[in-house]
Amino acid sequence: MRPHTIIEPFRIKSVEAIQFTTREQRETCLREAGNNVFLLHAEDVLIDLLTDSGTGAMSSAQWGALIQGDESYAGSRSFYRFRDVVSDLTGFTHIIPTHQGRAAERILFHSVLKPGDIVPNNTHFDTTRANIETEAAEAVDVVIAEGRVPSLVHPFKGNMDLDALERLLTERGDRVPLVMVTVTNNSGGGQPVSLENLRGVRALCDRFHKPLFLDACRFAENAWFIKAREAEHAHRTPKEIAQEMFSLADGCTMSAKKDGLANIGGFLAMHDDGWAAAARNLLILTEGFPTYGGLAGYDLEAIARGLEEVVEEPYLYYRIRSTAYLGEKLIASGVPIIQPPGGHAIYIDARALLPHIPPLQYPGIACVNALYLEGGVRGVEIGTVMFGRHPDGTETPAAMDLVRLAIPRRVYTQSHIDYVAEVVAAVGQRRDALRGYRMTNAPEALRHFTATFTALD
Residues lying near ligand F0G in the complex (CB under 6 A): 51, 53, 100-102, 125, 127-128, 182, 186, 215, 217, 255, 257, 266
* Nearest CB to ligand F0G, comparing residues 420 and 434: 420
- Closest by CA position to 342, among listed 364, 320, 314: 320
Amino acid residing at 319: R
CB of 332 to ligand F0G, least distance (A): 26
- Closest by CA position to 347, among listed 366, 324, 369, 370: 324
List all residues 6 or more positions away from 29 whose beta carbon is below 8 Å from its beta carbon.
Answer: 21, 40, 41, 44
DSSP tag of 56: P
Q: Degrees (nearest 5) of the Cα angle 363, 54, 130? A: 55
- Number of alpha carbons in the 13 Å side-chain half-sphere of residue 240: 7
CB of 282 to ligand F0G, least distance (A): 16
List all residues 6 or more positions away from 426 whose beta carbon is below 8 Å from its beta carbon.
Answer: 374, 375
CB of 406 to ligand F0G, least distance (A): 6
Cis amide leading into 384 (omega within 30): no
Q: Which helix (H) or strand (E) holds 173?
A: none
Tally: H helices and E strands in the chain:
16, 14
Q: How many Å separate Cα 27 from the centre of its chain?
A: 29
For ligand F0G, the nearest residue by Cβ is: 101
* Nearest CB to ligand F0G, comparing residues 33 and 386: 386
* Nearest CB to ligand F0G, comparing residues 33 and 407: 407
CB of 182 to ligand F0G, least distance (A): 5
* Nearest CB to ligand F0G, comparing residues 36 and 361: 36
* Nearest CB to ligand F0G, comparing residues 253 and 361: 253
Q: How many Å separate Cα 86 from the centre of its chain?
A: 19
| CA atoms 431, 347, 261, 98: torsion sign | negative
Q: How far is CA 5 from CA 1, 2, 45, 169, 405, in A?
A: 12, 9, 27, 48, 22
CB of 212 to ligand F0G, least distance (A): 16
* Nearest CB to ligand F0G, comparing residues 257 and 389: 257
* Nearest CB to ligand F0G, comparing residues 92 and 267: 267
* Nearest CB to ligand F0G, comparing residues 262 and 421: 262
- Closest by CA position to 269, among listed 79, 73, 86: 86
CB of 214 to ligand F0G, least distance (A): 10
- C-beta separation of 403 from 423 below 8 A: no
| CA atoms 45, 50, 55, 56: torsion sign | positive
- Closest by CA position to 436, among listed 361, 367, 373: 361
* Nearest CB to ligand F0G, comparing residues 260 and 290: 260
CB of 334 to ligand F0G, least distance (A): 27
CB of 257 to ligand F0G, least distance (A): 5
Q: Degrees (nearest 5) of the Cα angle 426, 432, 436? A: 105
CB of 336 to ligand F0G, least distance (A): 21
* Nearest CB to ligand F0G, comparing residues 303 and 434: 303
Cis amide leading into 98 (omega within 30): no
* Nearest CB to ligand F0G, comparing residues 53 and 78: 53
CB of 211 to ligand F0G, least distance (A): 18
Question: Which three-class secondary structure state does DSSP give residue 418?
Answer: helix
CB of 70 to ligand F0G, least distance (A): 23
